[in-house]
Amino acid sequence: LGIIYSVGPYLLPDLVPALKKLAPGMPLEIEENITANLDTLLRNGKLDAIIIALPFGDGGIITRPLYDEPFEVVVSNEHHWAGRRSIRAQELSAEKVLLLDSGHCFSNQVAEACPELSRKGADIQHGTSLETIRNMVASGLGITVLPASANSARYRSKLLQVIPFTKPVPARRIALAWRKSFARDQAIEVLAKAIGQTRVTGIKH
């Protein structure tokens, strides 16, 4: 099973125990990577299925939507937005925004949701992982946008405030993808069922 970096740490702690209960005899190997690399590994038969964000795939790939996940703004307690109830996507362009390196599809999704971030002169700094970025925000280096699953109680910091977007709330759709030629339908079904049983904060199955 392949999984993108911005999903893996937040879904796997709930997914692996659910899978072990549903299919104790099924071997499980997990590969975290960026979408482009997971796509190649899937097509080469090195991975049986991958968890990615839509849109994805072509005629040779089947995708099955799993859940929708909203994005949220994260700022330090010292930031002038710390007391805000909500943020409009257009407001981000006035701030220093920390995002994942451009190879990560999550950065592209945030840029699509907040087109002002793509304009020339927007103040964007890149980090290598969501956890690195979270720590950079906590130390006052800027603000960020994280998927809701990354803001569950397990990961929250006392140094940070999580603020929802105003409607329409930017979001992404996470899906399972596999090759049309992959014959083990049962493995796909049990994987989808296990993901459906996870209780991850912020995601709507």
- Residues 97-114: tens digit of each pLDDT: 999 987 788 988 888 888
The model's pTM is: 0.93
Residue 204 has pLDDT above 90, yes or no: no
Residue pair 183/49 in contact (Cβ under 8 Å)? The answer is no
What does the pLDDT average to over 122-141?
92
Pairing verdict, β 31-33 and 2-4? parallel
CB atoms within 10 A of CB 115: 11
pLDDT score recorded for residue 52 = 97
